Amino acid sequence: MADTTNISWTDSTHNLWWGCTKVGQGCDNCYAAALDRRTGGNHFDAEPYKRLSDHYWRQPPKWNHKAEQVGKRHRVFCGSMCDWADKQGYDDQRDRLWNLVRATPHLDWQLLTKRASNIRKYLPADWGCGYANVWLGVTVENRRQGLRRLAILRDVPALVRFLSVEPLLEDLGSLDLSGIHWVIVGGESGVKARQMEPAWVDNIFHQCQEQSVPFFFKQWGTFGEDRQRRSVVANGCLYRGREWKGIPV
Ligand code: SF4
């Protein structure tokens, strides 16, 4: 959990536990596993996931209270260090999350997963057409796994469905964005980053425009638009000469 975050499409992060297991190409250079290792942990593909403290779980209600006071909704990315739909995770912590979500109506909870086939199994019994303050998302880093996740997500009831196309690893081809309310695109960062071709971004951008889906360009990553390796900050987030920060309405 963090009050603030450098993930530009959200306001804060919260996790159900700390740890995960790699499930595909998008996980190859997992930033969460690297952070875990840097901070002395071994909770990725190894030890049981770490449970988080009561103090940690008490932060989102404070964000909710503040959001109510200032009259501005606050986005919370749930799963910067875990995957909420991971079957190796803890069911009691998922129950705890749903109770928290119901108690924080001024927060927009952004639940992102690479385990799309588990989403329905782990939704709460009273989910119905979806909670008003939950956005469900899947990662779409490539065609083989990502497009299958997209198709699964489309059929799950939710008020907001989104795609995190990050790290974008290849041209995604033709996209059916029906039922999708938001697309985030970004390139990979880190020493082993894989290059994102500008033409792949163009393809997604045009399809979002054609299908009236808000487009959010997060970053170029380690390789800039000119394919040069630099810091993520130096490569920035300008696309076609401007920022793209589309958001679902
Ligand atoms: S699903 Fe996400 S957190 Fe889990 S290993 Fe893959 S990239 Fe890391």
* Whole-structure pTM value: 0.96
Report pLDDT for 46. 85
- Ligand 1, pocket-test mutation among 17, 20, 117, most atoms within 8 A of CB: 20
What does the pLDDT average to over 222-236?
A: 96
> Prior bond to 61 cis, omega within 30?
no
Count the alpha carbons within 13 Å of 53 in the hemisphere toward its beta carbon.
4
Q: How far apart are CA 42 and CA 76, in angstroms?
A: 25
Q: How far apart are CA 121 and CA 206, in angstroms?
A: 34
Report pLDDT for 45. 85
Residue 41 lies in a domain: yes
Q: Which atom of ligand 1 is the closest one to the Cα of 21?
A: 5
Q: Which atom of ligand 1 is the closest one to the Cα of 82?
A: 3
Q: Which two tokens stand for residue 44?
A: 């990725």
Report pLDDT for 188. 97
Secondary structure tally for the chain: helices H, strands E: 8, 7
Residue 155 lies in a domain: yes
Residue 32 lies in a domain: yes
Regarding the beta carbon of 20 and ligand 1, being less than 6 Å apart is answered: yes
Residue 3 lies in a domain: no
Q: Name beta bridge partners: 215.
A: 183
**pLDDT digits 0-9 by tens, 162-217:** 999 999 999 999 999 999 999 999 999 999 999 999 999 999 999 999 999 999 99
Which helix (H) or strand (E) is 141 found in, with range?
none
The confidence band for 79, taking pLDDT boundaries of 50, 70 and 90, is very high
Of the candidates 193, 196, 217, the one whose C-alpha atom is nearest the C-alpha of residue 205 is 217
Q: Which two tokens stand for residue 193?
A: 């980053």
Report pLDDT for 47. 84
The confidence band for 6, taking pLDDT boundaries of 50, 70 and 90, is confident
Q: How far apart are CA 105 and CA 116, in angstroms?
A: 25
Residue 247 lies in a domain: no
CATH number at 223 reads 3.80.30
Report pLDDT for 2. 64
Q: Any residues with CB less than 8 A from the CB of 96 and at least 6 apart, and which?
A: 16, 57
Residue 105 lies in a domain: yes
Q: Which domain holds residue 188?
A: 12-235
Residue 246 lies in a domain: no
pLDDT at residue 1 greater than cutoff 80 = no
Report pLDDT for 184. 98
Structural domains of the chain, count: 1
Q: At 31, phi and psi to the nearest 5?
A: -70, -30
Residue 57 lies in a domain: yes
Strands 134-139 and 182-186, bridge-based pairing: unpaired
- Ligand 1, pocket-test mutation among 15, 18, 27, most atoms within 8 A of CB: 27
Atom 6 (ligand 1) nearest CA = 27
Regarding the beta carbon of 227 and ligand 1, being less than 6 Å apart is answered: no
Q: Which two tokens stand for residue 160?
A: 């907001």
